[in-house]
Every structure is written in C-alpha cells, then in structure tokens.
Amino acid sequence: MNRKRIAAVLGCAAAGFLLAGCESGGAERVRNIKIGVAVYDQYDTFISQLVEQFNQCAAEMSDSADSNISVKIEVYNAGKSQTTQNDQVKNMLEQECDVICVNLVDRTEPVTIIDMAEKQDVPVIFFNRELVEQDLERWDKLYYVGAKAFESGIMQGEMAADIFKNDPAADKNGDGVFQYIMLEGEADHQDAIVRTEYAVSTITDQGVPVEKLGYAIANWNRAQANTKMSQLLTEYGDQIELVLANNDDMALGAVDAMKAAGIDQAEWPVILGIDGTDVGLAALKNGEIRGTVYNDKEGQAEKMFDLAFCLARGLPLDDLGLEDGKYIRQPYTKLEEVPEEQE
C-alpha cells in the first residue's frame, strides 16, 4: 500500500472521524481494528504471499504518520479442514473481530460461517475461492475478492497456442499435434475445472490440434506434482510436448520431475503455470517454465484490505469498485517473460 493509497483511504475515513470527534468532544485517540483471516492452507504459495501482502497493508496503515489507527491481523490456518475453519471463525467472532476474511476450504460449504457471522453482525469477505452466487446473496454483508478463473485458463491456452505456432521445436515429433499432460488442482474444485476446460478449449479454438496423453490431480502441491509427473514421464517419456498446470507450484513440480529424471532442459516439454508466484517468476526468468498467468496478489490484498478497513469503520464503499455491490475482481496478465518491476 503506497502513501497515495493510504491518504485516499484516510480521506474516506475523515468524515467518519470528524463525526465521532464531534460526538466525543473532539479528542484524538487511537482507534483499534481487528481483522481475522482464515486460510484453507498456509503452505499454499499463492495464498501465503497474498496474506503477506495483506499484512503489509495493515502495517503500513498502522505506521502511517497520517493515521491514528491500529490494525491487528490474526491469521488462522485450517489445514484443509472445513470443520477446523468453522471452529476458527467461531473463535474470531468470540474474539470480537470487526471483519473476517475467509479463504474457504470447501467453496460449497460456507453456510455455517455465514450464519455465525450474521448472528454477530460481522461482515465476511471471502477471497480467492469463490463461493456460489446464491450463497453470497444470503446476507447483505458478504463480499468476494479474487479473479475470474476462466480468464486464466484462456490466457494459458493462448500462450500454449502461440508457442506451438511460433516455435517449431515445440512440436517435438513434427506431427502437427500438441501432445499434452494436464496437472490439475483439487478434484471437483471449481477453479481447477474451469482453468483446465478453458485452457484446452482455447488451444483448439486457436487452430492447434491437441492430444491428451494423461492427467494427474496434484492438489495445487509441488511435491505431489513432482511425484505424479515422474509417473507420467515413465509412461509417456518424450511423447510429452506440453505440460499445462493449474498453478505455478504444480508447474514447478513438473520441473522437479524433469530434473530428477536427468532430462536435458533443451529436451523438456513446454511447461506453463498460473499465478505468477515469486518462485514461479524465478522459474520463468531462468527458462524452466515458458509462461505463467499472473494472478494479482498485490492488487487483491490491497483491495481486500481497503474493503475490510471501510467495513470495520462503517464507511461508504462507493469508491471501491464493487461489482453488483459484492464483488471485487482483479484481472490476470499473461507473462512469457518477467516484467522489470517483478525482478
């Protein structure tokens, strides 16, 4: 969060502070805000980096010379258990958090959290894992911050098609067909399904024939992807021309498998990820992966913090760019090289 953004947020808060000052005799005092953050898995690289950015926004607000606000963030790790996450949200409510931000373990099971928060009149911002629209409409203090998953699939497919058309070496056997492996996130997870479907359909829509050799569910996890990719290499070997991974960690798992198999990097298939994590960008810079789709963790963290701050202070949300009064979505960006600002 830069100083211009801090000033803008504080400017929005000024009217509320002035009113409170008039009611209390105008005395200046530090105002405390407590925000609870529940994540599905703290070891997910993208989520951990997003939460780190969120914490930085809070720290910069608290440290600003223009601010008389202290923001406390409490982060809870559900360890991939929805039951655990429900208990953690209950604890946040008991600890009187002003706002709760939830990265759902199971996007189809938000009702317990919604009901608990509504009873306590505590707003909830869901992030990264988008719940179904009907659930978000259950109460007027529910919000979502993230991106449109299908856009990342389209962009990944566009990159794959462009590479096949412009790099003859990508078609290793010269048959005019892109033979591929798909590394998917969780089974039945909406983002995994959508990213997979749109990536492949976009490649074919771009006029590139494809052949699916195999796939593996690696749960967004680098180590699991390494294991699964090693098995696929044993089965398909140099028939594999393309690896489409639903996120960067799984793309890097494929890289690890290539290295473990002793395959020269010049003989690797095209490997593409999604998210643009720090480790993913490092792999892009050194040529281990050919592209990624940047999921704007900085923008999402800033937007989520701005929304949480305004909700905690009871301030207007008019300037936050909410779609339908509930959604904030940041756009993806295709990356086939690392931008200077990311280096």
Average pLDDT over every residue of 86-102: 98
The reported pLDDT for the residue numbered 194 is 96
Task: Decide which of 136 and 340 is more confident.
Answer: 136
CATH of domain 3-146+297-329: 3.40.50.2300
Position 127, amino acid: F
Asked if residue 257 lies in contact with residue 226, where contact means CB atoms within 8 angstroms, the answer is: yes
pTM of the model: 0.89
The reported pLDDT for the residue numbered 62 is 85
* CATH 3.40.50.2300 domain locations along the chain: 3-146+297-329, 149-294
The reported pLDDT for the residue numbered 21 is 38
Which two structure tokens, joined as six digits, stand for 16? 């509320």
Average pLDDT, the chain: 91
The reported pLDDT for the residue numbered 340 is 72
Residue 16 pLDDT more than 70?
no
Render pLDDT for 220-277 as a digit per residue (tens, 0 to 9).
999 999 999 999 999 999 999 999 999 999 999 999 999 999 999 999 999 999 999 9
Render pLDDT for 131-171 as a digit per residue (tens, 0 to 9).
999 999 999 999 999 999 999 999 999 999 999 999 999 99
Looking only at the bridges linking them, the beta strands covering 142-146 and 327-329 are parallel
Burial track 222-247 (b if 16+ CB lie within 10 A, e otherwise): bebbbbbbbebbeeeeebbbbbbbbb
**Chain-centroid distance, C-alpha 200:** 21
Looking only at the bridges linking them, the beta strands covering 142-146 and 178-184 are unpaired
Position 51, amino acid: V
Residue 8 pLDDT more than 60?
no
Asked if residue 302 lies in contact with residue 1, where contact means CB atoms within 8 angstroms, the answer is: yes
**Chain-centroid distance, C-alpha 324:** 21
The reported pLDDT for the residue numbered 65 is 52
Fold of 149-294: Rossmann fold (3.40.50)
